[in-house]
Amino acid sequence: MLALFDLANPNECYERRESVIPQQSLALLNSALALDLSRLLARKLTPEAKAPEDFVAAVFEWVLSRQPSKEEMAASVKFLQTQPARLAKPGIAFTGAYIIYFKFVNPDANTNENWWFGVSPEGIGTVGMLLNFAVSLLVSRYTAPPPDEVQELVESIRVPRGAGEASEH
């Protein structure tokens, strides 16, 4: 894992260049450790927060040892307010309900005779993905594009600051 982050060789002495590559961001985003720790932090800070602004300020203070800027506060609060609707997308709800039904609610019915079009609970994610894709196409076709600040935020995550040469090929 540390090789992905350009681990220094402690047996050599040399000046190191800054290296940030997209794979580092992806490794952290997909890391079980990062997810587990973020959930622990959220559980710790949620009871203390009376409003989304309180939660954002507490997270910034805990993680970055500073208060968020006005722009960071606005973007973070907006994210917290819109996230529940994003998680309730039809494909995710469908996939989750299908898996929960056959794995936990009625495991005796978990046979290919009862599966929808013969698709097992383990394989239903593909159907949910296609459903989400169809809904996303419809929504993107008939709604306005996201604001510039949201597009810039996504781009800054996709290509981290300092990525330099790594993002140019």
pLDDT of residue 4: 57
Query: Residue 50: pLDDT band by 50, 70, 90 thresholds?
Result: confident
Using only C-alpha atoms, the chain has a radius of gyration, in whole angstroms, of 21
Instruction: Calculate the CA 80 to chain-centre distance.
Output: 13
Q: Residue 25's closest CA among 149, 155, 146, 147?
A: 155
pLDDT, greater one: 159 or 69: 69
Long-range contacts of 120-124 (CB under 8 A, 24+ apart): 124/94, 124/95, 124/98, 124/99
39/25: higher pLDDT:
39
In the predicted structure, residue 7 carries a pLDDT above the cut 70: no
pLDDT tens-digit readout, 114-167: 888 888 888 887 777 777 777 777 777 777 877 888 878 777 776 666 655 555
pTM over the 0.85 mark: no
CA–CA distance from 106 to each of 34, 103, 110, 120, 126 (Å)?
A: 33, 7, 7, 14, 22
Q: How much is the pLDDT for 53? A: 92
Write the CA distances from 120 to 22, 72, 101, 130, 135, integer angstroms: 35, 43, 12, 16, 23
Residues 6+ positions from 37 with CB-CB distance below 8 Å: none
Query: How high is the mean pLDDT of the chain?
Result: 77
Which pLDDT band, with edges at 50, 70 and 90, does 88 fall under? Answer: low
Give the pLDDT confidence score for residue 70 in this predicted structure: 93
For residue 145, the model assigns a pLDDT of 78
Residue pair 119/95 in contact (Cβ under 8 Å)? The answer is no
Q: What is the pLDDT of residue 160?
A: 63
What is the pLDDT confidence band of residue 74, given thresholds at 50, 70 and 90? very high
* Residues 9, 104: Cα–Cα separation, whole Å: 49
DSSP 120-151: -TTTTHHHHHHHHHHHHHHHHHHSPPPPHHHH
Give the per-residue pLDDT at 100.
85
